[in-house]
Amino acid sequence: MTACNPVCEAGSVCTPEGLCVVPEDSPAQLEDATRRSEAAKHERLEYRMKPRMTVHGLITVASLAHGNATLLGVAGTLGYRQNLAETFGIQVRGGIGVGAAIADSSSSSGSSSSTGHPDDSAAALQVFGECGPFFGPLGRFYMGPIAWVGYFSFSRNKVHGYDAYGDVVHTASLPDVTRYGGGLDMGILALSHEQLDINWRLKSAFNKELPIIFEAGVGFHAM
């Protein structure tokens, strides 16, 4: 004889007070939790397969002119991204960046010598585009190769590095030029629909004029 009227549904038990309760960690609870988890995963995958517009803000550090100058700057990009399968897709981005190319002195970049003579610097502008496949997210992580092309322009085409006595120790040539190369793009996606993109990449023109570029920043994916 049960104290509950009507009788409790399957998965519930009747207490002496006549209340129907679901025991902790009961099959019904586990099934409900699994159902919610599967629904969230399905919704996330459904969003992932849709085309997305992306925006990114990045910091840029690059070695220039045989290592005689360093480019420090910031950049913004606008792009398109879409998964073609659950863990594979393509992305295309274009951007613009501004910064400064600073001659490397014999002590540290941008420092003033004991004579008070500062190392040279030049304002820098870059316009670039990049594209490539990516693999992931694998969990929340993704990575993939990228091909890029960029135009670099400088307010001065030569900057000098000085020693502690104010003498020129080297000159970096910074021509306005178009460069292209490759790289590796990586990131971690966050939030329920993987909209937040914590992104970093290594790029190179594969020559001594622009051997390495490191970029890192945060982006957002929107429908």
In this predicted model, which residue has the larger pLDDT, 17 or 138?
138
Mean residue pLDDT across the chain? 85
CATH 2.40.160.20 fits 50-222, yes or no: yes
Q: Can you tell me the distance from the alpha carbon of 103 to that of 145, in angstroms, rounded to the nearest whole number?
A: 30
Where do we find the tokens 């840029």?
60
Is residue 164 very low, low, confident or very high in pLDDT (cuts 50, 70, 90)?
A: confident
Determine which of 2-16, 27-41, 52-66, 133-147 has the lowest per-residue pLDDT on average: 27-41
**Are 64 and 121 a contacting pair, CB within 8 Å?**
no
**Are 8 and 20 a contacting pair, CB within 8 Å?**
yes
Rg, Å, the chain Cα set: 28
The residue ranges of every structural domain in the chain are 1-48, 50-222
Average pLDDT over residues 90-117: 73
Q: Can you tell me the distance from the alpha carbon of 56 to that of 156, in angstroms, rounded to the nearest whole number?
A: 28
Q: What percent of the chain clears pLDDT 70, i.e. is strictly above it?
A: 83
**Within 10 A of 183 (CB to CB), how many other CB atoms are there?**
21
Instruction: Tell me: pLDDT of 113 over 50.
Output: no
Q: Which amino acid is at 43?
A: E
Phi-psi region of 145 (alpha: psi -120 to 50; beta: other; left: phi over 0): beta
Rounded to 5°, angle at Cα 146 from 198 and 97: 65
